[in-house]
Amino acid sequence: MMRQAGRYMASYQALSKRHPSFRERSETTDLIVEITLQPWHAFAPDGVILFSDILTPLPAIGVPFDISESKGPVIQSPVRTEEQVRELVPIDLDKLQFVGESLKILRSEIDGEAALLGFVGAPWTIATYVVEGGMTNTYTNIKRMCHTAPNVLRGLLSHLAEAISDYIIYQVNSGAQCIQIFDSWGGQLPPHVWEQWSKPYIRQIVAKIKTECPHIPLVLYINGNGGLLERMKDIGVDVIGLDWTVDMADGRRRVGDGISVQGNVDPAYLFSPLPVLTHEIHRVVKAAGPKGHILNLGHGVLQKTPEEAVAHFFDVTRSLRYDTLFQGHLTEELQPV
- Secondary structure (3-state) at 121: strand
Percent of the chain with pLDDT over 90: 92
Position 324 scores a pLDDT of 83
DSSP assignment of 237-263 equals: -SEEE--TTS-HHHHHHHH-TTSEEEE
> Which CATH architecture fits 10-241?
Alpha-Beta Barrel (3.20)
User: Could you say which DSSP state residue 134 is in?
Assistant: B
pLDDT in tens, 130-180: 999 999 999 999 999 999 999 999 999 999 999 999 999 999 999 999 999
Q: What is the structure's pLDDT at 335?
A: 55
Task: State residue 329's pLDDT score.
Answer: 58
Domain ranges for the chain: 10-241
Average pLDDT over residues 17-24: 96
pLDDT at 195: 98
Tens-place pLDDT, residues 200-235: 999 999 999 999 999 999 999 999 999 999 999 999
- Mean of pLDDT values over 269-278: 98
In the chain, DSSP assigns E strands to 47-49, 66-68, 72-74, 115-121, 178-182, 218-221, 239-241, 260-265, 293-297
- pLDDT of 34: 98
Q: Is the dihedral of CA 6, 8, 14, 20 positive or negative?
A: positive
Look at residue 302 in the predicted model and tell me its pLDDT: 97
188 φ/ψ angles, rounded to the nearest 5 degrees: -85, -5
The pLDDT score that the predictor gives to residue 69 is: 78
What's the whole-model pTM score?
Answer: 0.95
For residues 80-87, average pLDDT: 97
Q: Is the peptide bond before 264 cis (omega within 30 degrees of 0)?
A: yes
